[in-house]
Chains A and B, each alone.
Chain A
Amino acid sequence: MSVPKDAGWKDVPKAGRILEPGCAAKYETGGWRTYRPVHVPENCINCLFCWIYCPDMSIQVEDGKFRGIDYRYCKGCGVCAQVCPGKRGNKALTMLLDDEAQGKEGETK
């Protein structure tokens, strides 16, 4: 249950209690992001270090392979890019300013 932004003090749950389990999924923390990781497929060896380290489970994996990044929750912390070994010294995840990165890679869900 998300509380509408325009709700008054009489209408919100007492003491800020959260009455719906798992509702953090509705809070899209991607809005906090300044930099976004951008995937460079030719450098990816599918080691999945990014998937292991991502604190927000924003790295999506399918059949043991990197599939995409869930930008709804990715806060742009850069841990994935930091741990990425890449191929021959070239990273498979690079951090770009969010605005500049728009369009370079499509939104993945």
Chain B
Amino acid sequence: MSIRVAKTGNEAVAEGMRQINPDVVAAYPITPQTEIVQIFSSFVANGKVDTEFVTVESEHSAMSATVGAASAGARAMTATSANGLALMWEIVYIAASMRLPIVMPVVNRALSGPLNIHCDHSDTMGARDSGWIQIFSEDAQEAYDNLLQAVRIAENKKVLLPVMVTMDGFIISHAMEVMHLLEDEKVKQWVGEYVPENPLLDVDNPVTVGPLDLYDWNMEHKRQQAKPVILEVARDYAKLSGREYGLFEEYMLDDAEIAIVVLGSTAGTAKEVVKALRADGVKAGLLKLRVFRPFPACEIARALQGKKAVAVMDRSDSFNAVSGPVFAEVRSAMYGMENAPAIVDYIYGIGGRDVTMDHIKSVYDDLAKIVKTGQVEKNLTYLAIRE
């Protein structure tokens, strides 16, 4: 039986880390760090875990220590947010390039400046090409479920890549909601014992990790960082928890004529709007993207094929580019497809700007207008901005 509790997203993820009981957690203990690490450090202090907890002087060092621990053969984790992730930048790429199955919860918050601590996706989107797997969560339950699955995905011998599990800052990280934890013993069994591949501490089989890698082989090694086995793990997790996950969730999408693509907590708000629209006879639907990296291009294209108009919701901007990052991927995925829908981008919720049901409703209204007139007036709209 799972345990029904009221937890914030931070608490839920910290509980998940406690159950995973990693060998090493290296983390920077000061802001922009989140409560995740603070709560986890109390588990360490109270002997609830066997983890070696390393407090370091910066996020750059946090990721460096995590890379070192993972290279040694430890199940290693860290957690961060916003500018903390930005400071890790250099080593974030190295973690992926060295094929280390590190799992890192990221609380999505705006990259400064001007100084801001609230939710948007600019931190994670900045690292989207680093080679990490990126899994987004709609609520605390999903953040917890994704965290546990991330360990199995990362450590799968066919994958061996680091995974970011994200949740929206404050909206999920600080809001308390009812959720279900699995029993400690079940999680321990399901996550299993970590058997590292070619660890440094295997002194009988010495290896060199991270050697100089120039033009003769670097491109081949980069090419290796691809395509994991996320659905396999999701199916196995459904057996354990009863909760099923795909690469994305389709909500009333099957027969929809207009649809939005959205990540994170806004999906919850949007589902309510879809329900209301359906009650009014509008064929509205929603695609909630869970796995952003690797980007499920073919699957998304198939799911959106035949829709009349689609809006992509970007909670970060890609300044001076064609659009926000999610739109660029989704539209590329549909290029050349027969029956491709009209597709438009909405940049929204930057720096924690609240997104209400009315805002989402206005997006669906725009889509209905596009379908009615056959005209796309604006490819890119800044939602609820003061002009």
Contact = CB atoms under 8 A, between A and B. Distances in A.
Given A3-B217, A21-B206, A16 B211 contact: yes
A8 interface: yes
A14 B160 contact: yes
Contacts of A3: 217
Interface residues of B, number: 21
Contacts of B213: 16
B46 interface: no
A15 B217 contact: no
A52 B97 CA distance: 38
B207 A14 contact: no
A1 to B, nearest CB: 11
B193 interface: no
A47 interface: no
Contact of A9 (B160, B205, B207, B223): B223
Contacts of A21: 206-208
Given A14-B197, A15-B97, A9 B208 contact: no
A8 B220 contact: yes
Nearest to A14: B99
B198 interface: yes
A9 B211 CA distance: 17
Interface of A: 3, 7-10, 12, 14-19, 21
B222 to A, nearest CB: 8
A3 B97 CA distance: 19
Contacts of A17: 198, 207-209, 211
A7 B219 CA distance: 13
Contacts of A16: 210-211, 213, 217-218, 221
B224 A9 contact: yes
Contacts of B99: 14-15
B65 interface: no
Nearest to A24: B208
12 contacts: A3-B217, A7-B220, A9-B219, A15-B224, A17-B198, A17-B207, A17-B208, A17-B211, A18-B211, A19-B198, A21-B206, A21-B208
Contacts of B198: 17, 19
A19 B202 CA distance: 11
Contacts of A10: 224
Nearest to A13: B198
A10 B221 CA distance: 9
Q: Top 5 A-B pairs ranked by shortest CB distance?
A: A9-B220, A18-B208, A16-B213, A21-B206, A9-B223
Interface string B108-128: 000000000000000000000
A72 to B, nearest CB: 19
Residue picked from A8, A12, A16, A18, most chain B C-beta under 10 Å: A16
A15 B223 contact: no
A9 B221 contact: yes
A12 B207 contact: no
A56 to B, nearest CB: 16
Contacts of B209: 15, 17
B220 A19 contact: no
Contacts of B219: 9
Interface string B206-245: 1111110100011111011000000000000000000000
